[in-house]
Structure 1
Amino acid sequence: MAKNLKVEDGKVLEPKKKFKMPHLLWIMLGLLLIASLATYVIPAGNFAVDQDGNVLGDQFKFIGHQTPVSPWDMLMYIMDGLNQSSMIIFLVLAAGASISVLLASGAIDNILNWSIYKLQDKGLPVLVSAMFILVVYIGGFAGSDALIALVPIGVIFARKLKLDPIIAIGITTFPALIGFGTGPQTQLIPQMMIGITPYSGFGLRFLFMNIFMILGLIYLMRYIKKIQKDESKSLMYSEGWRSNLTGQANVGEGGIKEEKLQVTSILALVSFITQYLVIVGYSTMGGDLNQLYNFIIVINIITAIVIGLLTQMSFDKIGDSFAKGLASMAFIAFIIGLARVMSIILTEGNILDSIVFYMTKPLMEINRSFATVGMSFIISILNPLIPSATSKAAILIPIIEPIAETLHLPKQVAIQAFQFGDGFTNMISPVLGWTVGSCVAAGVTFTKWVRWVLPAVIIFMLVGFVILVILTSIGWTGGSV
């Protein structure tokens, strides 16, 4: 008799089927269908604009009729979503190709094996902390969806240390989103749109990023220690993960074997890290921002070639690795395009302004400090509806500015409220290609990821709210730091 079948009263009972999360493709299409149907229900309306096209956040009017986006039109917008996401899609593809060459070179394998051997007694906190801090800074100064390509490194890292697949995201996308959501580099466009000096408040935002980095690292380390003590505490235990089944290189009966650190491995890793420093330098030291994405792709390609040559890979192997990297990111790139369709549907259906209006109206009637917190909270709710950071800024900043002026809030504080609201819920957004794509790459169901990261998101938001109250009370303008 089959092992999993049960017999009761002489009858064979079929095993109960556990709920299985639908494939990401169906989740995305389902969310788009819901958005389409919402355009039939939510009253259509728009904010007024002045003669220069600026949105007047205190002047809203319902259209008086619905402007629905039919399910068929929704599907027809998929190409528009892909086109509008083309830059970031190409960045993801190029970055994926670059990281694929790095992985094929064996440099990461060599460095991890050597590090684990040298620090096997007390090295886990050092290894995790070093990688976590590095990725936070990368996210803070050069963050984009392209960093999803780091997840395969996290997978190798988790396997080497006999940790579950959640750690693969926890050591890559999690810190990258912390840096991206709190770092000083990412607010260039919102600052320019609201009319304050680009990169003003840099020093204080850099401090905020480090505060959240420490909180995130503590959160991750607590989970690692918990599953090391009892692997059944892992959220992936019910999915079949076991530490003794995790693929380990160079592990024998005597423990981890010694491996010599190759100079070429160090040079390859340094080259990989240097590409981000070059990109940050270009964007902050006078580079043409209109050419920034072009520049990033060029640097990705050059870096892949340099890494291949440094590690003595053949030209064919470099080419094959590059091609495999592109292929591995193809579905993720498509998901990023679908995520953009959400914004198109809500905008074409004229319900995005209605949603924003209903959610921001209460801010006009409460204390300034709590209004700032409320503004950030509302943006955090809207965040999943507008997964593109640039699109979110384009839609919300013109609305936030008049609200801030009405409440006599410094524009710098309004930008900080926008940043915190925009940043933290990215980690649980079901329509953000960066987040859901990372789950796909790591082999973690989205529900498991949300269950793991949600407490951290709540902690981050509460700390962010405290910071906003303090900044509002002192009238921070960002002039000195």
Structure 2
Amino acid sequence: MEKNQFKMPHLFWIMIGLLLLASILTYIIPAGKFAVDGNGKIIGDQFTYLSSQNPISIWKMFMLIMQGLVESGMIIWVVLISGAMTSVVMATGVIDDLLGWAVWKLKDKNENILISIMFILMVYLGGFGGTDALIAVVPIGVIFSKKLKLDPICALGMTTYATLIGFGTGPVKQTTSQMLMGVPVYGAFFTMFISMNIFMIIGLVLLLRYIKGIRKNPVNSLMYNEGWNPEEISKVEELKEVSLAKNKILILLIFLGQYALIVAYPFVAKSGAALYPFILATNLLVSILAGILAKFSFKKIGDEFSKGLSSIVFVGFIIGLAKVMSLVLTKGEIMDTIVYVLTKPLMNLPRAFSSIGMTAVISVVNLLIPSASSKAAVLIPILRPIVEALGMAPELGVQAFQYGDGFSNLISPALGWTVGSCAMAGVPFPKWLKWVFPKVIIFTCLSFIIMFILTETGWRAF
């Protein structure tokens, strides 16, 4: 008789379970309050326990769901429209054509130059337009690797490895966490952009080092025992010439240009008050223009938009439920108590080490909840008061979340993007894990160093 294997519960049930737990905790955890200054900011070293409890029953918790969804409405709709816009752009085929065009143009260049340019292209693609739909570029990497007589791990190195580095460190990937943390959206754009390029360079060096090793001796390939041998690669599927049509170039320029507009908007408007409506309006217009330039019918544009919208509706619902959890803990007057208990051991430590600790914790959680938006919805309501209690800039909380959310994606067995890429390239997941795990450790340690520097220098977004 086979034993039933444990399966991670659906995120819906995880959230409902957390809400039920939050409700129960309002009966158990002593109520308490931090003192606040004249601006309403928490004074982390002034905490008192209250004389009575204010428990939130399970029924009251369910009644708070509507309030949570309504109060999160602006964030939810920005996330939904952004997802729908990305779906329309991906449906135009501009990403596939861009990759095919670049690979064809570079096919006769020096090997390291060719690999480097493709790697950089993939990182930027992941950083600015990354979704799990980029799993579709893996076959291009496989053909490319076969042409160069490289192993399947190199195919993943030039595609999934690169796109996930960009996805995890890109300057436009943390809008949800920024909104939930209450910091300017894209306010840290240039810092995150520089950070992405630092990790890109290191990631590329590590990939080229592996390629140099298997060039020197094919036995050094982790796939050698799986049957890979460069001498046995004879018939290779030829790369086909791909032309980048003018309308596709316009779509790409519009897609990337919107981020420049969004970053510039607070400076031009001299206020960020209307930034969320501006982001939503811009995303919607880009969706329509991309569809028209791709010569989609009105029905096709609507279908692709609704497809992208429906694919991310659940994430919006989870964002609302996370707000409910925050409401339960706050109305039950135990949020401050939880924060006090969690932060008390950190209060005597330098803030830099506290920010490093947050990054490490999020890295572990990311293995279980790989969705950045869902994880932000779950963790930010908890992280935000901790950041405030420690007297840290909220931007540091977002940066800790980004680094914690980014690199463990490469080793997460719960992320379809990673596991599916391995299956498409023919790389056993344990082999992939053996290759990429040391690199994740390097990236994580570097993120600790960057967090230390940012914290110690008092870094803030604009």
TM over 0.5: yes
Q: Mind listing any 5+ residue stretches in structure 2 that lack a counterpart?
A: 143-151, 215-219, 227-234, 366-374, 422-428
1:476 aligns with: 457
C-alpha contact 2:166 2:200 (8 A) present in aligned 1: yes
1:132 aligns with 123
Partner of 1:293: 276
Residue of structure 2 equivalent to 1:423: 402
Amino acid in structure 1 at the alignment position of 2:117: V
Q: How does 1:188-199 map to 2 (within 5 A)?
A: none
Match of 1:211 in 2: 198
SS where residue 58 of structure 1 aligns?
A: strand
Q: Which residue of 1 aligns with 2:296?
A: 313
- Counterpart among 321, 327, 339 of residue 356 in structure 1: 339
Change in CA separation of 1:419 and 1:293 when aligned onto 2, cut-off 3 Å: closer
1:187-223 CA distances to partner (integer Å, 9 max, x unpaired)?
8998989xxxx97x99877655543454466678899
In structure 2, relative to structure 1, the CA distance for the partners of 1:442 and 1:302 (3 Å cut) is farther
Structure 1 residues 342 and 460: CA distance shift in structure 2, 3 A:
farther
Deviation, structure 1 residue 470: 5.6
Q: Distance between the aligned counterparts of 1:336 and 1:439, measured in 2?
A: 20
Match of 1:238 in 2: none
Query: 1:372 corresponds to which letter in structure 2?
Result: A
Q: CA separation in 2, counterparts of 1:96 and 1:293?
A: 15
CA distance in 2 between counterparts of 1:337 and 1:93 reads: 13
SS across alignment from 2:77: helix
Counterpart of 1:91, as a letter, is V
Aligned to 1:104: 91
| Percentage of pairs with the same residue | 36
Is the contact between residue 23 and residue 58 of structure 2 (CA under 8 Å) also seen in structure 1?
Answer: yes
Q: How many Å separate the matches in 2 of 1:337 and 1:421?
A: 22
Amino acid at match of 2:35: A
CA shift for structure 1 position 79? 2.4
The separation in 2 between residues aligned to 1:90 and 1:175, in whole angstroms, is 25
Question: What secondary structure sits across from 2:135 in the alignment?
Answer: helix
1:377 aligns with 2:360: no
Matched residue, 1:38: 25
Where 2:269 maps in the other structure, the secondary structure is coil
* 1:265 shift after superposition: 1.7
Tell me which amino acid in the other structure corresponds to 2:22: A
Paired residues for 1:56-455 under 5 Å: 56-119=43-106, 122=111, 123-133=114-124, 135-136=126-127, 138=128, 150-162=130-142, 175-180=166-171, 207-208=194-195, 210-215=197-202, 254-366=237-349, 370-374=350-354, 376-378=356-358, 381=361, 387=377, 395-396=385-386, 398-401=388-391, 418-427=397-406, 439=415
1:420-472, CA deviations, whole angstroms, 9 ceiling, x for partnerless residues? 43432334999xxxxx9x94788879xx9xx8998777655543444565677
Structure-2 change in CA distance of 1:86 and 1:210 (3 Å): same
- Secondary structure of 2:46's counterpart equals strand
**Alpha-carbon offset, residue 181 of structure 1:** 10
Q: Which amino acid aligns with 1:395?
A: P
Give the residue type in structure 2 aligned to 1:273: L
Shift of 1:321: 2.0
| Secondary structure at 2:40 match in 1 | coil
Aligned counterparts of 1:76 and 1:192: Cα–Cα separation in 2: 29
Note if contact 2:359-2:400 (Cα within 8 Å) is conserved in structure 1: yes
1:11 match? none
Shift of 1:274: 1.0
**Cα offset, 1:296, TM superposition:** 0.9
CA spacing shift, 1:52–1:299, aligned 2, 3 Å: closer
Q: Contact conserved, 2:36 with 2:42, CA < 8 A, in 1?
A: yes
- The answer to whether the 8 Å contact 2:32/2:48 transfers is yes
- Partner amino acid for 1:294? P
Unaligned stretches of 5+ in structure 1? 1-13, 139-146, 235-251, 405-413, 431-435
Between stretches 281-290 and 172-181, larger displacement belongs to 172-181
Q: Contact 1:94 / 1:297 at 8 angstroms: preserved in 2?
A: yes
1:304, distance to aligned residue in structure 2 (A): 1.5
Whether 2:36 is the aligned partner of 1:54: answer no
Q: Per-residue deviation at 1:376?
A: 4.5
Say if 2:104 and 2:240, in contact at 8 Å, map to a contact too.
Answer: yes
Partners in 1 of 2:343 and 2:47 — Cα distance? 11
Find the residue that maps to 2:48 and give its secondary structure. strand
TM-score, scaled relative to structure 1: 0.66
Q: Which residue of structure 2 aligns with residue 407 of structure 1? A: none
Change over 3 Å in CA distance of 1:460–1:171 after alignment to 2: closer
Greater shift, 65-74 or 287-296, is seen at 65-74
- CA distance in structure 2 between the aligned counterparts of 1:271 and 1:255, rounded to whole angstroms: 32
In the TM superposition, what whole-angstrom CA distance separates every residue of 1:228-275 from its partner, at most 9, and x where no partner exists?
9556999xxxxxxxxxxxxxxxxx974333333322222211211111
Matched residue type, 1:151: T
Q: Do the aligned partners of 1:47 and 1:59 also contact (CA within 8 Å) in 2? A: yes
Q: What residue in structure 2 maps to residue 247 of structure 1?
A: none
- Pair 223,97 (structure 1): closer, same or farther in 2 beyond 3 Å: farther
| Count of aligned pairs | 407
Tell me the CA shift for residue 81 of structure 1: 2.7
1:90 Cα offset (Å) = 1.2
Distance 1:299 1:22, change over 3 A: same
Task: Tell me the amino acid that sits aligned with residue 40 of structure 1.
Answer: Y
- The 8 Å contact of residues 168 and 407 in structure 2, kept in 1 or not, is answered as no
Label 1:478 to 1:47 Cα distance change in 2 as closer, same or farther (>3 A): closer
Distance in 2 (CA, whole Å) between partners of 1:454 and 1:88 is: 34
Cα 1:429–1:458 shift into 2, 3 Å: closer
Distance 1:205 1:169, change over 3 A: closer
CA deviations 1:297-347 (Å, max 9, x no partner) are 111111122212222222232222222222222223223323333323332
For the aligned residues, what is the CA RMSD? 4.8
**1:106–1:422 Cα change, 3 Å:** closer
